[in-house]
Structures are given as structure tokens and as C-alpha cells.
Homo-oligomer: A and B are copies of this chain.
């Protein structure tokens, strides 16, 4: 079951989910709006690799916005800190952003139960699109679980700002 907007607000008041800063006009019928933070991470190597560390650099979005180009992946993050030890958050684009051809994630929309932090967005533009820090690009939904809960204790816990991939750590494990 997906929590309705009023239920998201209620569960937050009861301390069963975190969503900060919270403002009532971010509550939608079955989600809560998320805003784009001021920095983006982009990779600096031409070819990425799942088994190597991929160097990156950080861009700060100027007041006049930044044009996202179609040929690269930009990692952004939510201004909001969010998570829950009871429900599973799933992020997605707001309709208005998606209708401009802006992907908010690259099929990784699920947040592990117990993971608390600013969410990393995987931004990809089909056509060049100018975005601004503070844009309400995303939304988060919350889903009830069935079964015993083991909280997330992984490598992105407590994230602040956009977090580049750490997949090469897994891969190193996988081939040990």
C-alpha cells in the first residue's frame, strides 16, 4: 500500500518517517515534493567502468541555472533529508519536469528502509534543459512493508549532496 499525502504528513508527525524541511504545500495526493540542491557531480573520464573508481568533479549551479546536456549523466541531490525505519521510500520525477524530457533517476528509484539522507538524483536530459537550484523536480512516495525489518547499513548512509557511484566496491567483492 502506498501512503496518501495526508498519511505521509501524519506518519511524519508520529516520527515514523523523516522529511526535513517539511512544508505543507509540498504534500501531494500521494507523495511529497522534493527540490534540487545547489551542486551537481559529473564524471571526468570518457568511458565509465563498473569495476574502476570513476573520477568526478563538482559543479555549483549558478543563479541563472545550468543547461543539462543530453550526452552525460549529472548527479544531483535533494535539499530534503528523508528516510524511514518503517516504510520504503520510492522517488520519481514530478510530471512537469518529466514532460520536459528530464529523467530524475536512471531506474534506481528505491530507497532502502533505514537509509536516511539527502537523496541522490540521477539526472539525464533528452534535450538540453535549463534547471535551477530549488526547482521542485522530484517527489517521494512511501510504501508499507510486509515482513521483518533489517535496517539499511550500507555505503551511502547519511548522504549529503550528490554521491557518485561506489559500485566498484561491490564488484571488487564479487570477483574476490
Contacts and interface: CB of A to CB of B under 8 A. Distances in A.
Interface of A: 1-8, 10, 28-31, 35, 43, 46-51, 54, 65, 67, 70-73, 75, 88, 92-110, 112-115, 120, 122, 124, 126-132, 134-137, 139, 141, 143-152, 156, 163-167, 169-171, 174-175
A73 B3 CA distance: 31
A71 B70 contact: yes
Contacts of A3: 145-147
Q: How many copies of the shown chain assemble into the complex?
A: 3
A128 B92 contact: no
Contacts of A170: 94, 96, 136
Contacts of A65: 49-51
A113 B144 CA distance: 17
9 contacts: A4-B146, A29-B112, A35-B174, A46-B127, A92-B110, A96-B165, A99-B122, A100-B167, A104-B107
Nearest to A94: B108
